[in-house]
Amino acid sequence: MKQVFKKTTMLTDKPFTYCPGCTHGIIHRLVAEVLEELGIGQDTIGVAPVGCAVMCYEFFNCDMHVSAHGRAPAIATGIKRVYPDKIVFTYQGDGDLASIGTAETIHVAARGENLTTIFINNAIYGMTGGQMAPTTLMEQKTTTSPTGRSESLGGNPIKMSEILATIDGVCYVERTSVHNPQHIIATKKAIKKAFQNQIDNKGYSIVEVLSNCPTNWGMSPQQSLVWMEENMIPVYPLGVKKEVK
C-alpha cells in the first residue's frame, strides 16, 4: 500500500508531556515539519525555555540547549556566534519571553541576530499552575489574580509583537493562532517564513502563536479554542506586524 502520510522525522518518539487539548503539540509538529521540509533539520540547534515547553528538548530531533528562565535569546546568540551557518531557534512561552526575559528579547532583536523565535502566548503560566502572565487578559482569573486581572493590581497585557515590530534589526514579526485548522495552516506558513529568513541571512524573525491552556483556564479543550477566538484575538490582533523584504 502506498504510504500517504508519516510523522515528521524532526520529532522524536518520546510521548508529549502536555495536557489533553494543549496546542503545544500542534505547534511542535509545525516547527518540526518546517525543519524537515526546508531540509535544515540536521543543521539545527534549538533552545528550550523554562515553562511547559522545557521538555521540548526531548521532543525535537536535533541538538538542543535547555535555558534558564527567559535567557534563551542570549543562549541562542552564543550558539549562533559560534556557528553562523547553522540554524538556531528558540521556543519560548509568554512568561519566559515577555516577563523574566524581556531584556534578552528586546536586545536579541536590536542586535538583529539571525535567529528564529517561536513565541507561545497562552496568557497564563502553565507549568507552575496557572499564575498571571504578562499577557494575561484584563479581568482574566488566574491563581495570582484570583478576582480577575485589574490594572491597579496587575497592570496591563503586554503586546510583544507590536513592540518588536518597532525595533530596527528585526526582519519579520507575525502573530498567528492555532484555534482552528485554517489558522494552523497559516501558522505553519509563518513559521516556515521565519526559518527561511534565517536561511537567507535576513536577521531576527519571530512568530507569536496564540495558544491555549485548557487545564489552567478551567475549560474543556473545545471551550478553550472558542475562548481564544472570542477573547484573545481582539486583544492580540493577528497578522504581519513587520516584514523586511
Q: Comparing C-alpha atoms, which of 46, 88, 87 is closest to residue 65?
A: 46
Place of cell 518540526: 32
Of residues 44 and 224, the one with the C-beta less far from another protein: 44
Q: Is 14 in the site for another protein (CB under 8 A)?
A: no
Rg (the chain; Cα; Å): 17
Select from 76, 167, 190, 209 the one that contacts another protein (CB under 8 A). Answer: 76
Query: Please, what is the minimum distance in Å from the beta carbon of residue 15 to another protein?
Result: 15
> What are the C-alpha distances in Å from 121 to residues 4, 35, 201?
33, 21, 26
Select from 8, 86, 158, 186 the one that contacts another protein (CB under 8 A). Answer: 86
Select from 52, 74, 170, 213 the one that contacts another protein (CB under 8 A). Answer: 74
Q: Is 162 in the site for another protein (CB under 8 A)?
A: no
Query: Please, what is the minimum distance in Å from the beta carbon of residue 63 to another protein?
Result: 4
Select from 35, 52, 75, 178 the one that contacts another protein (CB under 8 A). Answer: 75
Query: Please, what is the minimum distance in Å from the beta carbon of residue 57 to another protein?
Result: 5
Burial per residue of 111-122, b for 16 or more beta-carbon CB atoms within 10 angstroms, e otherwise: ebbbbbbbbbbb
Select from 96, 104, 174, 208 the one that contacts another protein (CB under 8 A). Answer: 104
Q: Comparing C-alpha atoms, which of 131, 204, 144 is closest to residue 174?
A: 204
- Give me the 34-73 binding string for another protein, x by CB under 8 A, dash otherwise: --------xxxx-x------x--x--xxxxxxxxx--x--
> Please, which residues bridge with residue 170 across strands?
204
Q: Is 244 in the site for another protein (CB under 8 A)?
A: no
Q: Comparing C-alpha atoms, which of 181, 178, 191 is closest to residue 36?
A: 191
Query: Please, what is the minimum distance in Å from the beta carbon of residue 75 to another protein?
Result: 4
Q: State which H helix or E strand residue 193 sits in.
A: helix 181-199
Query: Please, what is the minimum distance in Å from the beta carbon of residue 42 to another protein?
Result: 5
Rounded Cα–Cα distance for residues 242 and 110 (Å)? 14
Query: Please, what is the minimum distance in Å from the beta carbon of residue 191 to another protein?
Result: 19
Of residues 106 and 163, the one with the C-beta less far from another protein: 106
Q: Is 96 in the site for another protein (CB under 8 A)?
A: no
Rounded Cα–Cα distance for residues 206 and 72 (Å)? 13
* 188 class by beta-carbon count within 10 Å (0-12 exposed, 13-18 middle, 19+ buried): buried
Residues that bind another protein (CB under 8 A): 12, 42-45, 47, 54, 57, 60-68, 71, 74-83, 86-87, 103-104, 106-107, 111
